[in-house]
Structure formats: C-alpha cells, structure tokens
Amino acid sequence: MTLSEVVQRTENDWAWILNLGTTSGCDLPLLAEISGSAAGMAWAKLDAGDASLVNLFQMWVAPEARGHGVAAAILEAAITWARSRNARTMQLGVVCGNDAARRLYERAGFHAVGAPGPQRPGSSRMEQTMQLDLAREDA
C-alpha cells in the first residue's frame, strides 16, 4: 500500500481496521502516547499461513519522541504478545539505510535473513527482512 492510498482512508476506514485488529485475536495494534499525543505505533499479526510466525508491520516513532525508549517499549510489547501466542519467530522488514532502526532490532536479538529486496513491487527503496527466534532466552 502506498502513502497516497493510506492518506485517502476515511476515519470510518481506520475505525473498521482498528476494530478488526482489536477483536481478531490474531492482531495486536500498538499505539504509544506521550502526554496524550501519538508518539509511535506498530502492528503485530499472526501469519495467516503459519501460526508459529508473527509479522511486525508499520513500526513508526514520531521524530520528537525518538531517543526516549518509545521504539524499544513498542517492540517489547509486540515480542511479549507474540510469545503469549506461542509463536516461535517474529519477522519484520527494515528499510536499508535506516541504521537506527536496524540497531534497535539487532539489540532485541533480530538478525538479517536473505538478501534485501524492494520494499514493494516497483519501489526503488530496498528492505531487509529480519527475524527473531522467540524461543531463545536472551531474545
């Protein structure tokens, strides 16, 4: 999905998506706030074809909230939820060149898997898949 497609969604569209996510049992929408303002978000989702895999999407932290532990807190909440669902692996994609995000994921125990590929079909932005073994004690 492109940014132009996302910004065209209505409040009703977003409400439907959030309701689906909070009632499915297969999704965990996360929102971090600081003083009542959105500071970050992510979406964890059990993989439809493999219940041992949780995918993490849409990880984002507001520029003014970076460096305050928001990303680490969101990531830890997603990992805790994945373990509570008995998942064995968490997977995400990080844009190549986003070194701060990659370091965050590496500190949490994620490692690169395979070669980078386009973020979406036709995109020049490259993305690296990373995985976390949820069974590891140090992860």
Domain residues for the domain of 119 are 27-133
Q: Is residue 1 assigned to a domain? A: no
Q: Give dist(CA 122, CA 133) in Å, integer.
A: 31
Domain assignment of residue 84, yes or no: yes
Q: Is residue 75 part of a domain?
A: yes
Could you give the CA distance from residue 116 to residue 97 in angstroms, rounded to a whole number?
11
What's the domain count of the chain?
A: 1
Asked whether residue 10 is assigned to any structural domain, the reply reads no
Give the model confidence (pLDDT) of 107-138 as tens digits. Answer: 999 999 999 999 888 889 999 999 999 987 65
Per the CB < 8 A criterion, the answer to whether 126 and 119 are in contact is yes
Two tokens at 117? 């590929």
pTM of the model: 0.84
CATH number for the domain harbouring residue 44: 3.40.630.30
74-102 per-position pLDDT tens digit:
999 999 999 999 999 999 999 999 999 99
Cα–Cα distance for residue pair 29/24, rounded to 1 Å: 11
In this structure, is residue 77 part of a structural domain?
Answer: yes
CB atoms within 10 A of CB 118: 11
Which of these, 114, 72, 116, 78, lies nearest to 94 by C-alpha position?
116
